[in-house]
Amino acid sequence: MIAETIKNSARILSGASIAEAIKREVAEEIKNLSFRPGLTVVRVGEDAASAIYVGNKVKTSAELGINSEHRHLPAETSEEELLQIVDELNERDDIDGILVQLPLPKHINESRILEQINPKKDVDGFHPVNVGRLSQGTPALAPCTPAGVIEILKRSAIEIAGAHAVIVGRSNIVGKPMAMLLLQENATVTICHSRTKNLAEITSQADILVAAVGRPGFVRGEHIKAGATVVDVGINNVSDADFAGELFDETEIEKRLKTIEKRGFTLVGDVNPREAKDKAANFTPVPGGIGLLTVAMLMKNTVDAAKMRRKTE
């Protein structure tokens, strides 16, 4: 089951079950290939969150039958040294996907590193070549998080064609590619950002509202059209118990407070879930929503990259 209903309020769209379905499909596809796709993840430094993300990616790769490799480099690695490693991976025929985990140490130019990756191996979908192809609607490796949003909408039977989709946030990682993917699905798309005037007036017209601003609980009931589908892409840490009380109803607040007491924080999105559930028809939770799809789509991108590269070379 990919969705569940809570208290006659919004249908909660489960990223977990959809991510598992995508991973099963990827594993089955790999079984039918005459080769094993290869993925290398490069991590520089000791960022704790990056270590967790990379661990999940490497573990999932192995589970699905992808040859995975983790290159962990010290924080003092120079930009030139990292570029040399990317060049080496570009040349290796057994590597189909290259992912340089962000953020990088401040002395390294992230754009320069990402542009050095062979576009055919750019499984993050951040290379300018893939960005350009995406904007043209031609086959491309799309960024994993926006691609995951499309999957959760389609697999939850949310009508995209003809819908008015509003995206709050214009980042290169989520906002802009999200707009391109929704356009490809024939939605009418509006992008809002920090300079947008009368934000609630615009977002409350959305049939599909995507929040990707990096501000906990920013999108509230006033921003949401009754019956809309609300997709929460944000991942934020909240440690204030009083603020958590504003975000969660009685069915969830006790669990969240225990998490804060144990870990020092609880994960929340960019949407106020208490208010969204009362207004929206469909809602993606945090955690348990879009975040789980990002790794699944990375696996799919790796297989797609392997197939496309071997077909053209």
Catalytic annotation, pick one of 122, 124, 232, 304? 124
Q: How far apart are the first and last CA of the chain?
A: 41
* C-alpha Rg value of the chain to the nearest Å: 20
Q: Are 170 and 193 in contact (CB under 8 A)?
A: yes
CA distance 24 to 180: 27
CA dist 58 → 53, 70, 92, 292, 296 (Å) = 9, 7, 19, 15, 12
Q: Using CB atoms within 10 A of its CB, is residue 307 exposed (0-12), middle (13-18) or buried (19+)?
A: middle
Active site residue 124: yes
| Edge-to-edge strand list for the sheet holding 282-283 | 3-5, 11-13, 282-283, 229-232, 208-211, 164-168, 188-192
Helix (H, G, I), strand (E, B) or coil at 32: coil
Please name which of 119, 114, 117 lies closest in space to residue 130, comparing C-alpha atoms: 119
What are phi and psi for residue 288, nearest 5 degrees? 100, 5
Active site residue 136: no
Active site residue 101: yes
Catalytic annotation, pick one of 23, 96, 101, 121? 101
Catalytic annotation, pick one of 23, 57, 120, 300? 57
Provide the pairing of β-strand 3-5 with 11-13. antiparallel
112: amino acid identity, one letter: R
Q: Are 245 and 253 in contact (CB under 8 A)?
A: yes
- Helix (H) and strand (E) counts in the chain: 12, 12
CA distance 106 to 231: 31
- Catalytic machinery residues: 57, 101, 124
